[in-house]
Chain A
Amino acid sequence: MFSRNVPGMTEILHRATVGIAGCGGLGSNAAMLLVRAGIGGLVLVDFDRVEISNLNRQFFFQQDIGKPKVAALAEHLRAINPAVKLTLHEVRLSRETVAWTFAGCDILIEAFDRAEAKEWLIEAWCAAYPDRPIVCASGLAGYGRSAAMQVRRTGTIVIVGDGVSDMGEGLCAARVMLAAALEANEAIALLMERKQKGGIS
């Protein structure tokens, strides 16, 4: 399946596990991209069910409406690669449950919609795992302004997005997907870097 991957990437990604905090526009698409890249395992967390209004940007289909997002997403991800190891948590994540929920993850992808939740997730992850990266998104609403999408890194934190736009202006698949793709791409790069430094066994 991965014969067209970048040489050296498949073996490293196969041994890695990435946490996905939220399976909406960011999380469902980032998860799909990571599975296509050959990630070994994902921990998927979301308390919500698929609604028709999700289909304008999330990796779901008409037949998923009403199903738990983690279950529907798992089905689609296994349809891409049946060998991917998935751990599903259909729960509302809290600051207190971040550490144990994602204990087995090399990297966490922040894929929440509320900024308040992004804030406590970053704090909880960095407190629990100060040496493990977290990839976050801020500013992915609207359309166009492709070049405004940035990737900023400080310590173990990566933040993608324009840093300004707010979901109040509406969400469009193309721009949400840009942010999700940046998150997945950065996660892959971090896993490759960590392997080179001996961080992943």
Chain B
Amino acid sequence: MITVNNRDKLAWRAGMTVRDVLTTMNYTYRLITVTVNGILVPKEQYDTYQIPDEAQVTVFHLSHGG
């Protein structure tokens, strides 16, 4: 089981990637920042970065303005 944004629980499976989580959670925002257990996952690793069981995954949406 993994936890997304301190709230949603997802069943874990071996080989699960960041992309799998984003797809399952139906996150469609293009500009996001993802961390797994507090470590930033670079965008180019979303398809390959494997999430360990019991992981805390955080997905932040980045919006324009500053």
Chain A residues within CB distance 8 Å of chain B: 22, 24-27, 111-116, 118-119, 122-123, 126-127, 130, 136-141, 152, 154-157, 159, 161, 163-168, 171, 176
- Interface size, chain B (Cβ < 8 Å): 19
Are A111 and B63 in touch, CB under 8 angstroms?
A: no
Q: Which of A113, A141, A155, A164 interacts with B39 by CB under 8 Å? A: A155
Looking across the interface, which residue of chain A has its beta carbon closest to that of B61?
Answer: A163
Leading 3 A-B pairs by shortest Cβ distance = A155-B38, A167-B65, A113-B66
Listed in ascending order, the chain B residues whose CB lies under 8 Å from chain A are 31-33, 35, 37-40, 42-43, 56, 58, 60-66
Tell me whether chain A's interface is mostly helix, strand or loop, or mixed.
mixed
Known contacts A123-B40, A123-B43, A126-B40, A159 near B33 by CB under 8 Å: yes
Q: Is the CB of B58 within 8 A of A152?
A: yes
For the complex, give the distance between the alpha carbons of A132 and B60 in Å.
19
* Cβ A113 vs Cβ B65 within 8 A: yes
Cα(A15)–Cα(B66), bound, Å: 27
With A119-B43, A123-B42 already in contact, the answer to whether A27 and B66 are too (CB < 8 A) is yes
Closest to A175 in B: B65
Residues of A within 8 A of B60 (CB): 138, 152, 154, 157, 159, 163
Q: How far is the CA of A138 from the CA of B63 in the complex (A)?
A: 5
Q: Which residues of A contact B33 (CB under 8 A)?
A: 118-119, 122, 136, 157, 159
Nearest Cβ on chain A to B33's Cβ, whole angstroms: 5
Shortest C-beta distance, A139 to chain B (Å), equals 5
Say how far A169's CB is from chain B's closest CB, in angstroms.
9
Q: Which residues of A lie under 8 Å from residue B35 when comparing CB positions?
A: 154-155, 157
Residues of chain B with a CB closer than 8 A to A167's CB: 63-66
The reply to whether A164 and B66 form a contact with Cβ atoms under 8 Å apart is: no
Cβ of A27: which chain B residues have Cβ within 8 Å of it?
66
With most chain A CB atoms within 10 A of its CB, the pick from B38, B40, B60, B63 is: B63
Residue numbers in B under 8 Å from A176 (CB-CB) = 65-66
Please state if A112 and B40 are interface contacts (CB–CB under 8 Å): no
A28, B31: Cα distance in complex, Å: 24
List the A side residues contacting B58 at CB < 8 Å: 152, 154
Rounded to whole angstroms, the CA-CA distance of A65 and B40 in the bound complex is: 38
CB distance from B49 to the nearest CB of A (A): 13
- B residues within 8 A CB of A152? 58, 60
Determine the residue in chain A with the shortest Cβ distance to B56.
Answer: A154
A154-B35, A156-B38 known; A139-B63 Cβ under 8 A:
yes
CA distance A114 to B66 in the complex (A): 8
